[in-house]
């Protein structure tokens, strides 16, 4: 399948593939290149690859060097510069180098090194996923195909040349199977038909597109291919020669009329004929545009003048005439369509349009940037100034729009038959996009970002960088300020507005407000708030521990050493559990207080005697007379609490509540020192009942008048308050009241009254 002189016509090439001009410029680094320098670079690249590729074969069975030469020729045929062709040899040489990126960068520069890196990655992805296409009934085929489409799309955000090389490489491989008459793997042919050919179509590389379609059709459905080939009464070369004669005749007629026009031949290939027959239910004889011409003129009046001249030359078929200039299609497509009968009594379709209409129909948005921003090499004779990087960014945006349109085509959306694009229906669905769960947006530098459908600018910011998300305060979408919860759409350009310092808003986690759609973004916001809460807890615990050290006179004690002695890995770990009230400060007090001194002399022998009051506190030591007793400060017992005694060294008997943690630990450690005790009757000097100090701990939301209201409760219950300690942290007050009671059983009623005070959350006896 060799290309004709018509297809290699330089003027036609510039209209066919606008992306190619920018790909050439990327290969040259945005700088003008003379022909001699480019040819020298091409020769150097081939010489570099020659010893690496000679004698090597690929997994397809192709000779490596022959394949590379073929790919370079294909790129040359579609108008690629020698610098682009040179990249072919470097990419394939990379397969046989230990560190290809470094070697290529040192020898040819970073631009070629990046191309080698991204191309090798894309090839690896395709090879890993291709096996899924081997089984046409496999339910996972669609998912695998979708993933490859996404990876190809994202590859453009790195280097516009990557997919051009892959297209040329795939065409060369199919040519190898056709020339060697070897069976082509169905997985490779299906991938070509469903991925590569539509991609070539969207990028406007028609020569590669129609040959990929024909070859993949030949391998996938050989019988229909051969049947249509037999129906054609001319060989391909003869058909193209016939079209060339008609083309020249029309071009001369328009020139004589004074109408400057470009007339192109559009020979239909076999796959296109089969698709039209199947899609419209036609016989071969009913396919009227087996041969077709396209006429490009300067303006709309020239379109109608050219149409008039066409109808003067040949007999028109009125029922096949459509005026899409006066009545454009919904997608904006404009052109004049007519079918005429030529001198050989064969139908020929003719399309007439302006260059602007052609750019929209054939290359969509991609054509416009190429026409206006073609740079140093120019496009169709027009040279445009402008920053190279901005042109690359604009090209990426154009490619993104084209590939998103291609996605809709893959999903079976209604197709505009005038553009000659292929239609692939997946699972019988129509009009439903494959990427419903994903969207693709761009940074201001035109890097493509993949996000979940419905994502917002906040999701976009977190996708770029966590800190950027935390500091996000606004967003420009396609240059206009929009609310942060505005859902993004495919192809939009997003710019994040940030502050220097700050964090996320709790509102972002409210699903009703719609600020976040990505689970990844939500997790980052939750992590930020969790970290802040942990920091507050640690600060609260640190404050409590440091105050305890001050009370104990141990401020010189190293906090890390204290944590280690208590079994914690770090001081912050200790502060965190203290701040959560999960670790009692009494444990720290016990560690800080020195052990009781060992008394050398023997303890006094306790004489048995009748039980009697001791110490004036109303505590009886069973069987012991005149023994000093003291109430423990750690639990502050009061009648009628169950109590126990512990014989200390030199300080008499310490009286504890029976449920006191310290008492239980001492009793377990030295059970021989435990002594039975009981409450007795005790009066003060005036003859009144004795009173006992008790600590009440209260946690409440701090407010004005809180201390007064709590004090009124104690006053109402006729309880004397002898001490108050309070501290407030972030709106929460922690208060400790020391009161005097003669009967601890009254405390339950007092606790109930305290719980009814506004703002009080907890009230308990310490």
Please indicate, yes or no, if residue 410 is contained in any of the structural domains.
Answer: no
Enumerate residues 6+ apart whose C-beta is below 8 A from 57.
63, 64
Q: How many domains does the chain have?
A: 6
Phi-psi region of 29 (alpha: psi -120 to 50; beta: other; left: phi over 0): left
Does residue 19 register a pLDDT over 90?
no
Residue 717 sits in a domain of what CATH number? 3.30.70.260
Please indicate, yes or no, if residue 507 is contained in any of the structural domains.
Answer: no
Does 286 lie in the same domain as 195? no
Report pLDDT for 65.
92
Does 623 lie in the same domain as 583? no
Does 157 lie in the same domain as 31? yes
580-to-541, 546, 584, 737, 766 alpha-carbon distances in Å: 8, 16, 10, 22, 17
Q: What is the pLDDT of residues 451-496, one digit of tens each?
A: 888 899 999 999 888 999 999 999 998 888 999 999 998 778 899 9
Residue 187 sits in a domain of what CATH number? 1.10.3210.10
Rounded-to-integer distance, Cα 464 and Cα 458, Å? 10
Q: What is the mean pLDDT of the chain?
A: 75
More confident residue, 202 or 407: 202
Please indicate, yes or no, if residue 423 is contained in any of the structural domains.
Answer: no
Does 696 lie in the same domain as 555? no
Does 258 lie in the same domain as 209? no
User: Final residue of a domain: which of 160, 192, 220?
Assistant: 220
Does 268 lie in the same domain as 125? no
**SS3 of 343, please?**
coil
Backbone angles phi, psi at 690, to 5 degrees: -70, 150
**SS3 of 757, please?**
coil
692-to-359, 403, 653, 661, 666 alpha-carbon distances in Å: 97, 84, 17, 20, 23
Average pLDDT of 315-329?
88
Q: Where are the beta strands (DSSP E) in 410-529?
A: 438-442, 448-452, 472-477, 480-482, 494-498
Q: Which of 80-84, 167-171, 414-418, 687-691 has the lowest mean pLDDT?
A: 414-418
Q: Would the pTM count as exceeding 0.75?
A: no
Does 672 lie in the same domain as 701? no
Does residue 120 register a pLDDT over 60?
yes
User: Final residue of a domain: which of 159, 191, 220?
Assistant: 220
599-to-420, 651, 673 alpha-carbon distances in Å: 106, 11, 14
Please indicate, yes or no, if residue 32 is contained in any of the structural domains.
Answer: yes
Structure confidence at residue 414 as a pLDDT band (50, 70, 90): very low
**SS3 of 554, please?**
coil
Does 210 lie in the same domain as 350? no
Is the distance from CB of 372 to CB of 394 less than 8 angstroms? no
Does 462 lie in the same domain as 495? yes
Closest to 656 (Cα-Cα) out of 586, 755, 556, 758: 586
Does 186 lie in the same domain as 55? yes
CA angle 226, 293, 349 (to 5 degrees): 75
Query: Tokens for 204?
Result: 């406007």
Does 697 lie in the same domain as 666? no
Relative orientation angle of helices 661-669 and 585-592, to the nearest 10 degrees:
50
Average pLDDT of 172-199?
85
Rounded-to-integer distance, Cα 265 and Cα 12, Å? 10
Please indicate, yes or no, if residue 387 is contained in any of the structural domains.
Answer: no
Rounded-to-integer distance, Cα 582 and Cα 612, Å? 42
Q: How many helices (H) and strands (E) does the chain have?
A: 28, 22
Q: What is the pLDDT of residues 260-289, one digit of tens each?
A: 999 987 656 777 777 766 666 656 555 544
- DSSP 8-state class, residue 361: I
Is the distance from CB of 734 to CB of 727 less than 8 angstroms? yes
Phi-psi region of 627 (alpha: psi -120 to 50; beta: other; left: phi over 0): beta
Does 120 lie in the same domain as 47? yes
Average pLDDT of 684-694?
73
Please indicate, yes or no, if residue 531 is contained in any of the structural domains.
Answer: yes
Average pLDDT of 79-103?
84
User: Final residue of a domain: which of 362, 387, 404?
Assistant: 362
Q: Determine the structural domain holding residue 116 and report its residue range.
A: 1-220
More confident residue, 281 or 183: 183
Please indicate, yes or no, if residue 734 is contained in any of the structural domains.
Answer: yes
Phi-psi region of 623 (alpha: psi -120 to 50; beta: other; left: phi over 0): left
Structure confidence at residue 149 as a pLDDT band (50, 70, 90): low
- State CA 367 to chain mean position distance: 30
Query: Tokens for 68?
Result: 């590379």
- DSSP 8-state class, residue 442: E
Please indicate, yes or no, if residue 165 is contained in any of the structural domains.
Answer: yes
User: Tokens 């306790």 — which residue?
Assistant: 606
More confident residue, 434 or 36: 36
């Amino acid at each position: 399948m060799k290309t004709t002189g018509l297809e290699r016509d330089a003027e036609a090439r510039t209209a066919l593939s606008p992306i190619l001009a920018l790909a050439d410029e990327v290969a040259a680094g945005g700088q003008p290149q003379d022909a001699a320098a480019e040819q020298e670079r091409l020769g150097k690249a081939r010489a570099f690859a020659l010893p690496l590729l000679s004698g090597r074969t690929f997994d397809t069975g192709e000779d490596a060097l022959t394949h590379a030469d073929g790919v370079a020729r294909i790129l040359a045929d579609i108008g690629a510069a020698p610098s682009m062709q040179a990249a072919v040899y470097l990419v394939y040489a990379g397969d046989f180098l230990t560190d290809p990126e470094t070697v290529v960068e040192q020898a040819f520069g970073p631009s070629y090194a990046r191309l080698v890196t991204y191309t090798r990655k894309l090839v690896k992805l395709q090879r890993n996923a291709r096996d899924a296409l081997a089984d046409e009934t496999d339910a996972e085929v669609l998912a695998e195909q979708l993933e490859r489409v996404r990876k190809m799309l994202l590859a453009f955000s790195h280097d516009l040349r990557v997919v051009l090389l892959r297209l040329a490489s795939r065409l060369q491989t199919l040519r190898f199977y056709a020339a060697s008459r070897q069976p082509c793997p169905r997985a490779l042919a299906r991938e070509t038909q469903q991925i590569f050919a539509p991609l070539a179509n969207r990028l406007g590389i028609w020569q590669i597109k129609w040959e990929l379609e024909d070859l993949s059709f030949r391998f996938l459905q050989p019988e229909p291919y051969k049947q249509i080939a037999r129906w054609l009464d001319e060989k391909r070369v003869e058909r193209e020669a016939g079209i060339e004669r008609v083309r020249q005749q029309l071009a001369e007629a328009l020139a004589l009329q004074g109408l400057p026009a470009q007339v192109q031949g559009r020979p239909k290939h076999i796959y296109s004929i089969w698709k039209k027959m199947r899609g419209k239910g036609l016989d071969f004889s009913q396919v009227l545009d087996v041969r077709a011409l396209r006429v490009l003129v300067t303006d709309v009046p020239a379109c109608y003048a050219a149409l008039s001249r066409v109808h003067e030359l040949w007999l028109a078929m009125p029922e096949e005439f459509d005026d899409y200039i006066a009545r454009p299609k919904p997608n904006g497509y404009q052109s004049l369509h007519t079918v005429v009968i030529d001198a050989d009594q064969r139908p020929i379709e003719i399309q007439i349009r302006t260059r602007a209409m052609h750019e929209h129909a054939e290359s969509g948005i991609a054509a416009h940037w190429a026409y206006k921003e073609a740079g140093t090499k120019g496009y169709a004779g027009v040279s445009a100034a402008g920053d190279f990087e901005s042109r690359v960014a604009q090209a990426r945006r154009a490619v993104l729009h084209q590939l998103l349109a291609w996605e809709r085509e893959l999903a079976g959306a209604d197709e505009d038959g005038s553009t000659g694009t292929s239609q692939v229906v997946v699972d019988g669905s129509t009009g439903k996009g494959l990427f419903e769960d994903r969207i693709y947006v761009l940074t201001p530098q035109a890097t493509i970002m993949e996000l979940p459908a419905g994502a917002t600018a906040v999701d976009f910011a977190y996708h770029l960088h966590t800190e950027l998300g935390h500091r996000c305060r606004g967003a420009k979408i396609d240059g206009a300020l929009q609310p942060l919860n505005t859902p993004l759409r495919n192809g939009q350009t997003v710019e994040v507005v940030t502050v220097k310092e700050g964090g996320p808003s709790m509102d972002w986690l409210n699903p009703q407000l719609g600020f976040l759609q990505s689970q990844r973004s939500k997790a980052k916001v939750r992590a930020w708030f969790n970290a802040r809460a942990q920091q507050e807890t640690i600060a609260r615990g640190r404050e409590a521990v440091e105050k305890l050290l001050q009370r104990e006179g141990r401020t010189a004690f190293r906090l890390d050493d204290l944590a280690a002695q208590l079994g914690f890995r770090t001081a912050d770990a200790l502060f965190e559990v203290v701040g959560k009230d999960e670790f009692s400060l009494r444990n720290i007090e016990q560690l800080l207080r020195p052990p009781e001194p060992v008394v050398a002399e023997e303890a006094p022998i306790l004489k048995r005697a009748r039980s009697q009051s001791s110490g004036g506190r109303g505590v009886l030591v069973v069987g012991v007379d005149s023994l000093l007793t003291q109430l423990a400060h750690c639990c502050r017992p009061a009648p009628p609490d169950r109590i126990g005694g512990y014989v200390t060294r030199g300080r008499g008997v310490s009286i504890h509540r029976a449920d006191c943690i310290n008492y239980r630990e001492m009793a377990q450690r030295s059970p021989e020192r435990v002594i039975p005790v009981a409450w007795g009757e005790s009066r003060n000097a005036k003859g009144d009942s004795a009173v006992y100090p008790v600590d009440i701990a209260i946690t409440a939301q701090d407010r004005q008048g809180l201390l007064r209201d709590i004090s009124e409760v104690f006053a109402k219950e006729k309880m004397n308050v002898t001490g108050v300690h309070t501290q407030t942290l972030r709106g929460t007050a922690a208060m400790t009241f020391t009161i005097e009671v003669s009967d601890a059983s009254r405390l339950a009623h007092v606790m109930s009254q305290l719980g009814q005070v506004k703002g009080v959350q907890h009230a308990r006896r310490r």
